[in-house]
C-alpha cells in the first residue's frame, strides 16, 4: 500500500484489501492538518502563503518595536548605574590608597602599622614626657618641706647632741612620788603620793631645780594621764588628770578618797559614801587646785537620778538629788533609807504605811540627812500618809485622806467634785493641765457654794489649787515650792538717773523698797511700795509722786529731787533693799 508525500495518507492499490481502519486514520490526519492552516483574510496575505505555526510562536515572543541591536565593544562609564556594591573610583583615590602603608608592623627602618607592643609602651608614657635623667646630686633648695619632712641645721644638730639624754630608771616598789625630782623617765609600781587608783605607770620628770619640777604620770593598762608640779622643796600641787578615760574604782572604794578630776565608775560593792549603797554610778569629780575643795556629780545607771555634793574646806556635804524622775525602789527596801529629795515608787517597802505590803508612791523633801518629810500615796486607793524624821528619829505615819471617792474614768468633770474627800482623776475636764493624771483633794464649806480643790499631778507632782466662790470656780494656781518661790529679794545701788529699771526673774504684782545704809537712820520707817496687776488700788506715794512702778519682769524706780529726805528711790550712791512679789 502506497502513502502520500506530505501527510502520509494511505493509498490502497487494486490488489489491496480495503480496510476501514485505514480510511479512518487518513481522516484523522487530515483533520489535524486542517487545524494548522492559516485562514485567508482579505487584504492580508503572505507573498507566498506558507506562514507556519512555529513562525507565529517566534513572532509572539518578539517585543513591540524590537530591532536587531548589536552591543558595542566599548561604551562610556556614564551609562553604568552605580550602587553600594558597585562603585567607580578615581585615579586620585587609587593613587592615595596605593601610597598607604602595608599591614606589616613598622620597624626602625620602614614605616608600617603600630605594633601591639608599641601601643602598650605609648599608653604608659605620660603626656608631655621627656627623656629626663635625674642628676646624681641637686641643691636642697629644690625640696619642698612640710610638717613630716624638714631640714635641720648643723647648729640645731649640735645643740641637740649636747642636750641631756632621757634616762629610764626602774624604781623600787612603793616608791614615794615626792622623791622623784630629777630629769628622766621612771617606771613605778605601787607608788605612794600617786593619783587615786594608780598602781603602775611611767613617770616623766622635767626638773628646773631640785625644788621646782613637773611630773607627768602615764598609767599602765589605761589611757589615763596625770600631771602635777612641785612649787618648793616640800609642796606639790594636787594631781590633775588630763585625759577623759573612765576610771573603774576598786570594790569598797570610798568616794571621799577621790582627789583627781575625772570620770569614775563605781560598782554597788564599791559605793562607799555614794548616794545609795545599791546602785551603779558614773561619778564626775572636779578637783580644785586647793585639795580641800571639790565637787562630785553622781549619775545612777539604774535610773535617771542625778546627785551632787561639794567638799568645802576639807568636809564633804550630803548628796542632793537634782533630778525629779521617779525612783524605783527594789522590793523590801527600807523607807528609812529614802532620805534624798525626790519621788520614789516601790512594793512591799519596809516601814511603809502598809506595814511592808502594797504599792506606794513616796515623796521625800529633805532639809538635811536627819531632818526630812516623807509623804506616801497608796496606789490602790486614795489614801495619803505623811511622817517626819526629826534629828534622825522617825515619827509614826499619819493618814491625810479618808478614801471617800476613787474616780478612775477618763474625762470626769472636775467642776462637779464638790464633796469632801480624795479623788483620782485621769484626764478629767477642767483639770489644771489637760490630759494629766491627778489626785484631787476637795474641802467643802458646810453652807453655800464654797469649796477648795487641791490637785496633785501624779507624774510631775506639781500642786495646784483653786476655789469655788458662790458657785463660780476661780482659775487653777500652781502652789509655790522651795524651787518656785512667790517672791524674789535683792539689793541695788541708786545711780541718780531720772528713772531706772530693775530687772527681775518674775513679773511683780507688788514691790516693797527700803533704804539700807545708816544715812537714813532717822527715817528708818520710810519705805516705798507699788501695787501691780494683782493688787487693786493705787501705788503708795511719797511726796505726792509715784516712786515705784511695776512692769513685766521688772519694776521702775525714780530720782525726784530731795524735797523730802529719802523721797527718791534712785538717789545716787544710796543702797536699797527690795522684795518683789508675784
Is 123 in a helix, a strand, or coil?
helix
Higher-confidence residue of 108 and 102: namely 108
**423: which residues sit within 8 A by CB, 6+ positions away?**
382, 405, 406, 407, 412, 417, 439, 440, 441, 442
Residues β-bridged to residue 140? none
Higher-confidence residue of 420 and 207: namely 207
Mean pLDDT of 122-135: 84
pLDDT band at 268 (very low <50, low <70, confident <90, very high): low
Residue 542 has pLDDT above 50, yes or no: no
Half-sphere exposure of 168 (CA within 13 A, CB side): 3
As a whole number of Å, the end-to-end CA separation of the chain is: 167
Closest CA to 303 of 269, 342, 337: 342
Q: CA dihedral in degrees (109, 110, 111, 112; nearest 10)? A: -120
Q: Is 22 exposed, middle or buried (0-12, 13-18, 19+ CB in 10 A)?
A: middle
Residue 299 has pLDDT above 60, yes or no: yes
d(CA 29, CA 453) in angstroms, rounded, equals 148
pLDDT at 92: 92
Residues β-bridged to residue 78? none
Half-sphere exposure of 159 (CA within 13 A, CB side): 5
Residue 409 has pLDDT above 70, yes or no: no
d(CA 292, CA 313) in angstroms, rounded, equals 5
Does the pTM of the predicted model rise above 0.85?
no
d(CA 417, CA 167) in angstroms, rounded, equals 85
pLDDT band at 543 (very low <50, low <70, confident <90, very high): very low
pLDDT at 216: 92
d(CA 527, CA 506) in angstroms, rounded, equals 21
| 214, 192 contact by CB (below 8 A) | no
Mean pLDDT of 289-309: 86
pLDDT at 562: 45
- Pairing outcome for strands 554-558 and 548-551: antiparallel
Using one digit for the tens of pLDDT, what is the confidence trace for 559-569? 764 444 445 77
| 349, 335 contact by CB (below 8 A) | yes
Q: How far is CA 357 from CA 352, 379, 384, in A?
A: 8, 12, 15
DSSP string, 145-207: PBTTB----HHHHHHHHHSPPP-EEEPPTT-BGGG--SSEEEEEES-BSPPTT--EEEEEEEE
Using one digit for the tens of pLDDT, what is the confidence trace for 51-106? 777 888 888 888 888 887 888 888 888 888 999 989 989 999 899 888 876 778 88
DSSP string, 201-218: EEEEEEEEETTEEEEEEE
Residue 433 has pLDDT above 60, yes or no: yes
d(CA 247, CA 284) in angstroms, rounded, equals 10
Asked which of 39-48, 58-67, 124-133, 244-253 is least confident by mean pLDDT, the reply is 39-48
Using one digit for the tens of pLDDT, what is the confidence trace for 219-241? 887 778 889 999 877 788 888 88
% of the chain with per-residue pLDDT over 70: 83
Mean pLDDT of 142-156: 88
| 274, 258 contact by CB (below 8 A) | no
Report the mean per-residue pLDDT for the chain: 80
Using one digit for the tens of pLDDT, what is the confidence trace for 314-326? 999 888 877 766 7
Distance of CA 114 to the CA centre of its chain: 61
Count CB neighbours of 571 within 10 A. Answer: 22
Quote the cell numbers at residue 545: 509722786
Q: Is 374 exposed, middle or buried (0-12, 13-18, 19+ CB in 10 A)?
A: buried
Mean pLDDT of 474-495: 79
pLDDT at 534: 34
| 185, 169 contact by CB (below 8 A) | yes
Amino acid at each position: 500500500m502506497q502513502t502520500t508525500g506530505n501527510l502520509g495518507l494511505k493509498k490502497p492499490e487494486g490488489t489491496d484489501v480495503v480496510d476501514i481502519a485505514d480510511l479512518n486514520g487518513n481522516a484523522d490526519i487530515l483533520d489535524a492538518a486542517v487545524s494548522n492552516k492559516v485562514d485567508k483574510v482579505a487584504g492580508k496575505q503572505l507573498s507566498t502563503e506558507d506562514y507556519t505555526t512555529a513562525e507565529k510562536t517566534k513572532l509572539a515572543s518578539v517585543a513591540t518595536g524590537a530591532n536587531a541591536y548589536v552591543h558595542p565593544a566599548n561604551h562610556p562609564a556614564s551609562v553604568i548605574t552605580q550602587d553600594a556594591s558597585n562603585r567607580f573610583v578615581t585615579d586620585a583615590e587609587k593613587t592615595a590608597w596605593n601610597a598607604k602603608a602595608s599591614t606589616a608592623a613598622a620597624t626602625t627602618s620602614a614605616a608600617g602599622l603600630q605594633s601591639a607592643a608599641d601601643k602598650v609602651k605609648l599608653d604608659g608614657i605620660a603626656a608631655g614626657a621627656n627623656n629626663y635623667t635625674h642628676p646624681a646630686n641637686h641643691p636642697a633648695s629644690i625640696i619642698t618641706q612640710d610638717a613630716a619632712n624638714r631640714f635641720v641645721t648643723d647648729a640645731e644638730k649640735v645643740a641637740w647632741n649636747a642636750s641631756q639624754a632621757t634616762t629610764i630608771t626602774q624604781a623600787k616598789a612603793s616608791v614615794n612620788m615626792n622623791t622623784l625630782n630629777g630629769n628622766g623617765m621612771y617606771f613605778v609600781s605601787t607608788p605612794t603620793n600617786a593619783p587615786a587608783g594608780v598602781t603602775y605607770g611611767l613617770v616623766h620628770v622635767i626638773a628646773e631645780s631640785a625644788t621646782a619640777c613637773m611630773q607627768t604620770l602615764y598609767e599602765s593598762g589605761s589611757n589615763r594621764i596625770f600631771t602635777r608640779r612641785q612649787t618648793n622643796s616640800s609642796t606639790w600641787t594636787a594631781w590633775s588628770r588630763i585625759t577623759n578615760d573612765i576610771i573603774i574604782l576598786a570594790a569598797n572604794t570610798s568616794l571621799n578618797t577621790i582627789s583627781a578630776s575625772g570620770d569614775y565608775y563605781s560598782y554597788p560593792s564599791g559605793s562607799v559614801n555614794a548616794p545609795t549603797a545599791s546602785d551603779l554610778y558614773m561619778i564626775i569629780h572636779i578637783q580644785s587646785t586647793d585639795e580641800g575643795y571639790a565637787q562630785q556629780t553622781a549619775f545612777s545607771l539604774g535610773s535617771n537620778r542625778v546627785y551632787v555634793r561639794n567638799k568645802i574646806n576639807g568636809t564633804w556635804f550630803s548628796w542632793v538629788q537634782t533630778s525629779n524622775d521617779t525612783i524605783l525602789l527594789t522590793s523590801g527596801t527600807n523607807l528609812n533609807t529614802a532620805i534624798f529629795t525626790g519621788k520614789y515608787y516601790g512594793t512591799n517597802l519596809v516601814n511603809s504605811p502598809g506595814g511592808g505590803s502594797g504599792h506606794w508612791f513616796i515623796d521625800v523633801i529633805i532639809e538635811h540627812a536627819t531632818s526630812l518629810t516623807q509623804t506616801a500615796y497608796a496606789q490602790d486607793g486614795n489614801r495619803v500618809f505623811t511622817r517626819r524624821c526629826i534629828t534622825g528619829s522617825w515619827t509614826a505615819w499619819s493618814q491625810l485622806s479618808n478614801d471617800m471617792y476613787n474616780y478612775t474614768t477618763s474625762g470626769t468633770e472636775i467642776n462637779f467634785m464638790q464633796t469632801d474627800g480624795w479623788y483620782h482623776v485621769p484626764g478629767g475636764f477642767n483639770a489644771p493641765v489637760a490630759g494629766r493624771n491627778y489626785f484631787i483633794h476637795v474641802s467643802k464649806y458646810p453652807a453655800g457654794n464654797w469649796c477648795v480643790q487641791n490637785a496633785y499631778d501624779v507624774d510631775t507632782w506639781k500642786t495646784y489649787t483653786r476655789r469655788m466662790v458662790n458657785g463660780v470656780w476661780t482659775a487653777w494656781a500652781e502652789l509655790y515650792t522651795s524651787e518656785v518661790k512667790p517672791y524674789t529679794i535683792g539689793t541695788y545701788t541708786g545711780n541718780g538717773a531720772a528713772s531706772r529699771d530693775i530687772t527681775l526673774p518674775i513679773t511683780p504684782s507688788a514691790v516693797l523698797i527700803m533704804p539700807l545704809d545708816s544715812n537714813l537712820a532717822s527715817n528708818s520707817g520710810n519705805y516705798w511700795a507699788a501695787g501691780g496687776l494683782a493688787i487693786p488700788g493705787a501705788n503708795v506715794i511719797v511726796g505726792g509722786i509715784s516712786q515705784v512702778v511695776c512692769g513685766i519682769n521688772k519694776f521702775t524706780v525714780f530720782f525726784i529731787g530731795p524735797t523730802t529726805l529719802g523721797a527718791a528711790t534712785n538717789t545716787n550712791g544710796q543702797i536699797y533693799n527690795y522684795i518683789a512679789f508675784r
